[in-house]
Amino acid sequence: MLSTFILLQALKPHICFTCLNSMSKGSFIILASTIKSMQVLVDDVGSFPLPDFVERKAFEKAYVMARAWIAEGKDPKDDEFLLKNFHNVVKVSFTAKCKAGLDAVNYPQHYDIRRQFTEVIRKAVERGTYIVDYGEAVIPEVVVIKGEAKRLCEELGMERIHLRVCVTGPFELYLAEVGATAYRDILLMFAETVRRFCVNSVLDDKYVGTLVVSIDEPSFGFRDVAVDRDTVLDVLEKAFNFRGVVKQVHVHSTARIVDLLNVENLDVVSVEYAASPKNLEAVSKSMLEKADKQIRVGIARTDVDAIFAELYEKGIKKPQAWQIVEDIEVIRRRFKAAKARFGERLAFTGPDCGLGGWPSQEAAQILLRRTVEAVKKFS
Domain ranges of the chain: 22-272+284-378
pLDDT at 378: 75
Q: What are the tens digits of pLDDT across the range 51-82?
A: 999 999 999 999 999 999 999 999 999 999 99
Strand (E) positions, 170-305? Answer: 208-216, 246-251, 268-271, 294-300
- Residue 5 scores a pLDDT above 70: no
Query: Which of the pair, 253 or 3, is modelled with greater confidence?
Result: 253
Residue 265 — φ and ψ, nearest 5°?
A: -95, 30
- Residue 163 scores a pLDDT above 60: yes
**All residues at 6 or more sequence positions from 251 whose CB lies less than 8 Å from its CB, including other chains:** 217, 218, 220, 221, 257, 260, 269, 270, 271, 272
Give me the percent of the chain exceeding a pLDDT of 90: 89
Q: What are the tens digits of pLDDT across the range 135-153?
A: 999 999 999 999 999 999 9
Going by C-alpha positions, the residue among 185, 158, 148, 156 that lies closest to residue 170 is 185
pLDDT at 36: 46
- Residue 27 scores a pLDDT above 70: no
Least confident of 21-35, 71-85, 186-200: 21-35
- Residue 17 scores a pLDDT above 50: no
Would the pTM count as exceeding 0.85?
yes
Q: What are the tens digits of pLDDT across the range 267-316?
A: 999 999 999 999 999 999 999 999 999 999 999 999 999 999 999 999 99
Query: Which of the pair, 258 or 16, is modelled with greater confidence?
Result: 258
pLDDT at 26: 54
pLDDT at 1: 24
pLDDT at 121: 98
pLDDT at 122: 98
Burial class (CB in 10 A: 0-12, 13-18, 19+), 320: exposed
- Residue 10 scores a pLDDT above 50: no
- Residue 93 scores a pLDDT above 60: yes
Number of residues that make up the chain? 379
Least confident of 32-46, 51-65, 211-225: 32-46
Going by C-alpha positions, the residue among 323, 334, 342, 328 that lies closest to residue 373 is 328
Residue 7 — φ and ψ, nearest 5°?
A: -60, -40
Q: Report the side by side order of strands in the sheet with 294-300.
A: 41-42, 346-351, 294-300, 268-271, 246-251, 208-216, 161-168, 105-106
pLDDT at 30: 54
Torsion (CA) 325, 328, 329, 333 in degrees, nearest 10: 90
Q: Are 369 and 100 in contact (CB under 8 A)?
A: yes
Query: Which of the pair, 37 or 233, is modelled with greater confidence?
Result: 233
Mean predicted lDDT score pLDDT of the chain: 92
- Residue 116 scores a pLDDT above 90: yes
CATH of domain 22-272+284-378: 3.20.20.210
Per-residue pLDDT, averaged over 101-123, amounts to 98
